Structure 1
Amino acid sequence: MPEEKRPSAALEPPEPMERWFAARGWQPFQFQREVWAAMAAGRSGLLHATTGAGKTYAVWMGALQRGLALPQPSRGASPLQVLWITPMRALAADTVRALAAPLPELAPDWTLGQRSGDTPAAERARQDRRFPSVLVTTPESLSLMLTRDGAAAELGAVHTVIVDEWHELMGNKRGVQVQLALARLARWNPSLAVWGLSATLGNLDEAMRVLVGERPATLVQGRIDKTLVIDTLLPENPGRFSWAGHLGAQMQRPVVEEIERSSTTLVFTNTRSQAEIWYQLLIQERPEWAGLVALHHGSLDKEVREWVELGLKEGRLKAVVATSSLDLGVDFLPVERVLQIGSPKGIARLLQRAGRSGHAPGRPSRVTIVPTNTLELVEAAAARHAAQAGRIERRPTPEKPLDVLVQHLVTVALGGGFEPESLYAEVCGTHAFRALTREEFQWALDFVEKGGASLAVYPEYHRVVLVDGLYRVPDRGIAKRHRLQVGTIVGDASMQVKYLSGGTIGSIEESFIARLRPGDCFVFAGRVLEFVRTQDMAAYVKKATKNKGIVPSWAGGRMPLSTELADAVVELLAGASADDPSAAAAPELQAAHPMLATQARLSRLPTPQTLLVERYRSREGEHLYLYPFAGRYVHLGLASLFAWRLARHAPNTFSLSVNDHGFELLSAEPADLSSLHDGQLFSAGHLLDDVLASLNSSELAQRRFREIARVSGLVFSGYPGAPKSMRQLQASSGLFYEVFRKYDASNLLLTQAQAEVLSQELDIGRLSATLQRLAQRRLEYVELKAPSPFALPLMVERFREKLSNEKLADRLERIVRDAERCADRAGS
């Protein structure tokens, strides 16, 4: 894809844009000028620039320039010309405010609107009569617009599409949904220009190809001088032994003191459960902050989230504890500080969150990492080094997700119909389906037309019909059900949480509510609530008289350590092992020194050239610890694979425990480790067969199929006000899975389910690469006399599943006491 180099004269902004900038005392950056020149030439592209650097006005002014150069209608508002796609509804209102600012002076006849699931019915009705000139929308709402019978006429004048926060979309099926929608728009307007915006992407060229396809494109990187500070809040007593959450309570007061020193602080956590816990910790330490400290995550009611966002914008809140729900794009100028509770697990996430402070050109951004265990001190130092070196994670993208294609076929059939050959060519023009065969497309078409080989006798699965050479949807009931569940976001079924006295607080996964009995207390939305009953898919609660309760655990809560950050951690550990002065100078490593020194005395420190393996005997049995530093998902696959391979030669039963740094295999009988020492355990031969044999692959694939069944429209999640329960959805998708497996084994949705298990849940590509790396490393084998500082967190992971907090504390006290004595003897 050629990139264009332009003379500096071509980079002068158009006079109206220049005047608008000058009136505000602004001077366009060089990267903004580059975008304007490229867009004026009709090129698509990707703009990668620091958060708060001015990406929005770079592409927005270019889109205005393109639109104003076109013949304008003689009177009245212009047709829909620009689509701005945002990954989050919460960003839409903020984006609309930014886009509205220059319109009175630069394009007074243009109108501006937003359309998402939150848009009021009256506003949608106005848009149905006539779309505005510019529409801010989401991938799901855009797909819904494509289902309108007059979609070609209504959307045919769109000349520019801007996809904000492209990194959030390109790695999942929502990004594929965007690719298919853009291909449809380009069919109606071949001169369509598409621009993506991002601040945190490692694979820029690939990201641009995925978005713009084969259009002539320009990659613009906005480099401006912006101070970024990444530091760490050091614990007073990190200790020699630590485990997940060990330092949490110790960091409570230091976090409060940091918040006190700043005007407004964002406190980011990695999970909703952690957000609930830290909100409670802040209020416990400073009760007078009630009303000044708020909570924000995706399960809270929309009105609550909007109140928090407005409070941030207006500077009324002292602090907000948030998850990734506030990661993206929303402009909170009053935010002075950002705290990251625990390891960020990835460089891109850390940079994204850092950019929430100093969110304007010229203002410094600062993020402070708050470790919750001693190893996270090392991760914090590694994250800073990797960020300074620009080692940002690449985003992989889905390949040929046929459930999304099946949904798109019905969407296009509703939106005026399609002719198979032309639609096949259109679909193949997207990056996701560039390798789609004609046979695979025909299978998808047969599936929506006849229900495939096993559903042909059921009329409700004959969703499209050939009418006068075009495939259309003739049944109004099928059309209504399809429009109700357009999209690829599939989470666990959730229940609204409501007060008995009235008012909605938010929503919690049905699986959590199902475990509660009347009278049980749980923490949600910063409150302790008492569960009363469920009725009509809602959980009714009242304010609890107790001050403690269960913290809900949401599905998909834990994030794995990225490859880039994991590699940086091992490099730092190697430096600490070699007494590298530059590594030792990091304040985080100085704080972690007691733990690292103890690890070195009792065992070894990992390096990029070695694989640390520890063996320990206890009353429980034989413990084997390996530390590949490849993230918990890969470690789950490796642990299962190694246990299966070891037991294949000598029957044995293993218990598994994993974290981001390594994994534990616990067996009642000593395992034969000859395959470990001779390297056969790391063989990549027959890897796929061995991985599938080592896991309950059928159960994993069936679980994955639930999502595929809902995206492809096999399973209907219910009408508004009458949603189906998770049990009903699981039963329905499970029935389809068994029917296809027995009577339609070649069904491509089954094949997709297994492929997604391997690529997403087990990360088979990274697992294979990790095996190859381990096979080349030198084995460092250590017989432990007591659990090492690296081994103890893995023991705790396993204990937590079996022991109460009180019993776990007693058990840990004894283990740590014995380990401390052993460390003292080793050091004397």
Structure 2
Amino acid sequence: MSATRRRQAAEHEAIESWFQSQGWAPFDFQRDVWRAMASGRSGLLHATTGSGKTYAVWMGALLHAMRQGVPMQGRTAPALSVLWITPMRALAADTTRALTLPLPQLAPAWTIGMRSGDTSSAERQRQDRRMPTALVTTPESLSLMLSRETARDELAGVQAVVVDEWHELMGNKRGVQVQLALARLKRWNPRLIVWGLSATLGNLADAMHVLLGHEDGALVQGRVDKTLVIDTLIPAEPGRFSWGGHLGAQMQKPVVEEIARSSTTLVFVNVRSQAEIWYQLLLQERPDWAGSVALHHGSLDQETREWVEQGLKAGELKAVVATSSLDLGVDFLPVERVLQIGSPKGIARLLQRAGRSGHAPGRPSRVTIVPTNTLELIEAVAARRAARAGCIEKRATPEKPLDVLVQHLVTVALGGGFTPDELFDEVRTARAYRHLTRDEFQWALDFVEKGGASLAAYPEYHRVQLVDGLYRVPDRAIARRHKLQIGTIVSDSSMQVKYLSGGRIGVVEEGFISRLKPGDCFVFAGRTLEYVRTREMTAYVKKAERPRGLITTWAGAKMPLSSELAEASLEVMADVERGHADEPELRAAQPMLDTQMRLSKLPTPSTLLIEQFDSREGHHVFLYPFAGRYVHIGLASLLAWRLAKEAPNTFSLSINDYGLEMLSAQPVDLAPLLDKRAFDEGDLLHDVLASLNSSELARRRFREIARVAGLIFTGYPGAPKSTRQLQASSSLFYEVFSKYDAGNLLLSQAQGEVLSQELDIRRLAASLARMRSQRVEAVNLAAPSPFALPLMVERFREKLTTEKLKDRLARIIRDAEKAAQP
């Protein structure tokens, strides 16, 4: 054996020895990653949560560094060699602790640091003097490092980059930010290796290619015999009729009993308001748990979140009610149980949350779904079946977002400067920009150099200039402003609702208002209002004397049902129709399913159910495409618009994840639905834009783009600009570009993002195609069916008090129960 082979064998033995000292034995997939990284290959590791992904890639990074001659021993710490990118600051601290553990035995000379928005100024100054050997950071902090004049000196020696939780970054602009940063690092070091970690991705090969750009890589799938239990907390009385939140109060005591039986429990919910409600419900039932039950979501301050995370790690907390803020790979070994309140709405999300329990190799993971309505019993069965079949949602990278490119041009100009030809070639190696044309790149360069066609007269938008053959940022004020808002995260805003005549009514999400056209009516605070206009983050309305147009009722702040889970749910109902209902959830849901089949039919993959019902309110039409609430928003507006074109009518719309309701004052001719004319694709783009307030949607989306592209400044530390100021600034730019720079590509991007993200036009088109291929089952209802009632309740909630809603529901259910009798 040669000296090189002996040395390499000794390096592997040292790692195996460290694993043994921890009482572990390496898995085959970990050794596969070590061999690939030691030989200089990039790749993607996909393995279940808690199976040892971190140490698979960390040991591989150490082996690769050894092969590159980076010293492991000695008094002086080697220069920066490994970057570990994590999507969350909370993960950064946890990862840093995990990476530090083996160093005293394997690489005592190495140092590890953390750099994120939470890093103290003193620690930043220490890193500025000398970077650690390995640095755990976030996409935003890495971009900030690239904006430093010394960026190349500090980062050109990096040998390996690890991107943790790649599934969380891949499908958004933060992932694009990472792609551009990797393209820059690869230009400085062509031998750089890049590895991604993921536990929940459906399109692995594509995910790896997005991460690695044009480079080929090793796809390693960790197969660990890890027991995964997905079960359901069955309600005592599911009922024959149910609606959103119907079972919540009934499940309060069973949830408390489950928590009482376990050491530490994570209680996951889908939205922050739900987290607040369930935190209070637990304490109402068990006041003695005060101090041992905690709350965790993104709106809480950093100090509170850290206190909760440390309490979980130490096993000091009985339960934590959390949103997706605790989804990702923070290692909480004491967690014994995971409860999911309501449907997870996606397979990947369910698996990710299940992995928070038994977060160690060999320990079983268990997640228990707590239904909040009877239909979620169906989703629970569908989710379990899909998880067992490995049917996980796919992610796709955004296509050449020019706002991120514009920001990157200024970042690179600050970080040493660039020449256009070289940077164009570099940017095109990022997967998101593989189709970027030279004209588009030149437009972005002209925009940051001269402000484009409409901002040429304003020096503050001449951000880069050609200096000694390189594009740089010579203005210090511009440089400071840019560094203060590097990043792509832009939060949604709330808007005030006021009468034109004066008087404040309340606050709603901006996303809701942006879908309204002047003249549209909506129900809010128990009143029917007519939307007039939006000015400076305020929606002005007047009382609707005689409602016209669409009366809209949207349920906001909810996650949409994924395509995969929707399809699995329809398959479950097809099985029920065939008489296969053996699982405990289906036995519990049987009274509701029997009632649905008695009053109507069940939707299945091959049939489209359309129900019609007349009441004192008007004429109801219910459709059940099972396409998720985002698609149903566009679909409901589109179908109502098309039906109203054939025969003028006023429609009130209601949607949920399963279907949509169109309520009209005049009878509806169902012929366009029955013969499927209304489902034709036709000029889908035109019709969708005509049925919604597309210009207002684009204006709202443009504000995010303008912030990322650096057109609007969010303010200095301690003196942030108000949301109203930002809205006014972005609206001004939108108007200026629309009038004087119609070819501005940021406007085109805003319109494209509305279609691809706000309305999910691709999935909407696919849903219409599916509806055309299905057999239409039309039913005239004698009373609202169990599937129709939840849609009616969504609408009632906006205009009825709790007591009036209770009375109305009692009457409807009494009539429906009577109609459902054999």
Q: Quote how far apart the aligned CAs of 1:122 are.
A: 0.4
Kindly report the root-mean-square deviation, in angstroms, between the aligned alpha carbons of the 2 structures: 1.7
TM-superposition CA deviations, 1:114-165 (whole Å, max 9, x none): 0000001100111111110000000000000000001001000001000000
Separation in 2, partners of 1:72, 1:294: 44
The 3-state SS of whatever aligns with 1:806 is helix
608, 618, 621: which one pairs with 1:621?
618
672, 675, 699: which one pairs with 1:702?
699
TM-superposition CA deviations, 1:61-101 (whole Å, max 9, x none): 01011112223478622111000000000001110111001
1:239 to 2:239 alignment: yes
TM-superposition CA deviations, 1:31-71 (whole Å, max 9, x none): 00110111111111000000000000000001011112223
Q: Quote how far apart the aligned CAs of 1:650 are.
A: 1.1
Q: Tell me if the contact between 1:232 and 1:370 (Cα under 8 Å) persists in the aligned partners.
A: yes
- 1:375 alignment counterpart: 375
Separation in 2, partners of 1:650, 1:427: 52
Q: Tell me if the contact between 1:11 and 1:33 (Cα under 8 Å) persists in the aligned partners.
A: no
Q: Quote how far apart the aligned CAs of 1:108 are.
A: 1.1
- 2:803 alignment counterpart: 806
Change (3 A) 1:199 1:11: farther
- 1:747 alignment counterpart: 744
1:560 to 2:560 alignment: yes
- 1:361 alignment counterpart: 361
Q: Quote how far apart the aligned CAs of 1:11 are.
A: 11
Q: Quote how far apart the aligned CAs of 1:270 are.
A: 0.3
TM-superposition CA deviations, 1:572-617 (whole Å, max 9, x none): 111111212xxx1110010001111000000001111100000011
Separation in 2, partners of 1:432, 1:88: 22
- 2:529 alignment counterpart: none
Q: Tell me if the contact between 1:43 and 1:215 (Cα under 8 Å) persists in the aligned partners.
A: no
Separation in 1, partners of 2:388, 2:478: 53
40, 43, 47: which one pairs with 2:41?
43
- 1:422 alignment counterpart: 422
> What letter corresponds to residue 455 of structure 2 in structure 1?
L
TM-superposition CA deviations, 1:612-634 (whole Å, max 9, x none): 00001111111100000010001
The 3-state SS of whatever aligns with 1:645 is helix
771, 793, 798: which one pairs with 1:796?
793
Equivalence map 1:406-421=2 (5 Å): 406-421=406-421
TM-superposition CA deviations, 1:701-727 (whole Å, max 9, x none): 111111001000111111111111111
Q: Tell me if the contact between 2:636 and 2:662 (Cα under 8 Å) persists in the aligned partners.
A: yes
1:31 to 2:5 alignment: no
The 3-state SS of whatever aligns with 2:654 is strand
1:440 to 2:440 alignment: yes
Q: Quote how far apart the aligned CAs of 1:13 are.
A: 7.3
The 3-state SS of whatever aligns with 1:432 is helix
1:111 to 2:125 alignment: no
- 1:609 alignment counterpart: 606
Separation in 2, partners of 1:357, 1:76: 40
TM-superposition CA deviations, 1:184-213 (whole Å, max 9, x none): 000100001000000000000010000011
Separation in 2, partners of 1:403, 1:555: 30
> What letter corresponds to residue 251 of structure 2 in structure 1?
M
The 3-state SS of whatever aligns with 2:251 is helix
Q: Quote how far apart the aligned CAs of 1:493 are.
A: 5.7
Separation in 1, partners of 2:815, 2:719: 57
Separation in 2, partners of 1:510, 1:360: 44
The 3-state SS of whatever aligns with 1:224 is coil
Separation in 2, partners of 1:233, 1:602: 28
> What letter corresponds to residue 14 of structure 1 in structure 2?
H
- 1:97 alignment counterpart: 97
Q: Quote how far apart the aligned CAs of 1:676 are.
A: 1.3
> What letter corresponds to residue 702 of structure 2 in structure 1?
F
Q: Tell me if the contact between 2:213 and 2:429 (Cα under 8 Å) persists in the aligned partners.
A: yes
Equivalence map 1:323-338=2 (5 Å): 323-338=323-338
Q: Tell me if the contact between 2:39 and 2:64 (Cα under 8 Å) persists in the aligned partners.
A: no
- 2:466 alignment counterpart: 466
Change (3 A) 1:423 1:573: same
Equivalence map 1:723-802=2 (5 Å): 723-802=720-799
Q: Tell me if the contact between 1:629 and 1:660 (Cα under 8 Å) persists in the aligned partners.
A: yes
> What letter corresponds to residue 633 of structure 2 in structure 1?
L
- 2:203 alignment counterpart: 203
> What letter corresponds to residue 348 of structure 2 in structure 1?
A
Q: Tell me if the contact between 1:417 and 1:472 (Cα under 8 Å) persists in the aligned partners.
A: yes
Separation in 1, partners of 2:473, 2:322: 43
1:646 to 2:643 alignment: yes
> What letter corresponds to residue 42 of structure 1 in structure 2?
G
Separation in 2, partners of 1:297, 1:510: 21
- 2:81 alignment counterpart: 81
Separation in 2, partners of 1:556, 1:86: 29
Separation in 2, partners of 1:193, 1:494: 43
Q: Tell me if the contact between 1:13 and 1:36 (Cα under 8 Å) persists in the aligned partners.
A: no
> What letter corresponds to residue 251 of structure 1 in structure 2?
M
Identical columns (%):
74
- 1:490 alignment counterpart: 490
Separation in 2, partners of 1:30, 1:15: 15
Separation in 2, partners of 1:483, 1:808: 52
Equivalence map 1:223-234=2 (5 Å): 223-234=223-234
Change (3 A) 1:359 1:773: same
Separation in 2, partners of 1:353, 1:686: 41
- 1:635 alignment counterpart: 632
- 1:688 alignment counterpart: 685
Q: Tell me if the contact between 1:635 and 1:658 (Cα under 8 Å) persists in the aligned partners.
A: yes
The 3-state SS of whatever aligns with 2:383 is helix
Separation in 2, partners of 1:810, 1:121: 59
Q: Structure 2 unaligned runs (5+)?
A: 1-7, 496-505, 511-553
TM-score normalised over the length of structure 2 = 0.91
Q: Tell me if the contact between 1:12 and 1:33 (Cα under 8 Å) persists in the aligned partners.
A: no
Separation in 1, partners of 2:485, 2:320: 33
Q: Tell me if the contact between 2:209 and 2:216 (Cα under 8 Å) persists in the aligned partners.
A: no
> What letter corresponds to residue 604 of structure 1 in structure 2?
K
Q: Which moved more, 1:67-76 or 1:158-167?
A: 67-76
1:125 to 2:130 alignment: no
Separation in 2, partners of 1:157, 1:820: 73
Separation in 1, partners of 2:476, 2:10: 53
Q: Quote how far apart the aligned CAs of 1:556 are.
A: 6.8
TM-superposition CA deviations, 1:472-523 (whole Å, max 9, x none): 001111111100000000003699xxxxxxxxxxxxx99789xxxxxxxxxx
The 3-state SS of whatever aligns with 1:245 is coil
Separation in 2, partners of 1:437, 1:585: 56
- 2:405 alignment counterpart: 405
The 3-state SS of whatever aligns with 1:113 is strand
1:311 to 2:308 alignment: no
> What letter corresponds to residue 57 of structure 1 in structure 2?
Y
The 3-state SS of whatever aligns with 1:781 is strand
The 3-state SS of whatever aligns with 1:105 is helix
TM-superposition CA deviations, 1:349-381 (whole Å, max 9, x none): 000000000000000000000000000011011
Separation in 1, partners of 2:253, 2:651: 41
Equivalence map 1:128-139=2 (5 Å): 128-139=128-139
Q: Tell me if the contact between 2:96 and 2:113 (Cα under 8 Å) persists in the aligned partners.
A: yes
Q: Quote how far apart the aligned CAs of 1:301 are.
A: 1.0
> What letter corresponds to residue 823 of structure 1 in structure 2?
A
Q: Tell me if the contact between 2:38 and 2:67 (Cα under 8 Å) persists in the aligned partners.
A: no
Separation in 1, partners of 2:777, 2:122: 68
> What letter corresponds to residue 366 of structure 2 in structure 1?
R
The 3-state SS of whatever aligns with 2:250 is helix
> What letter corresponds to residue 82 of structure 1 in structure 2?
V
The 3-state SS of whatever aligns with 2:777 is strand
Q: Tell me if the contact between 1:708 and 1:753 (Cα under 8 Å) persists in the aligned partners.
A: yes
Q: Which moved more, 1:73-82 or 1:608-617?
A: 73-82
Aligned length: 760
Q: Quote how far apart the aligned CAs of 1:12 are.
A: 10
Q: Quote how far apart the aligned CAs of 1:555 are.
A: 11
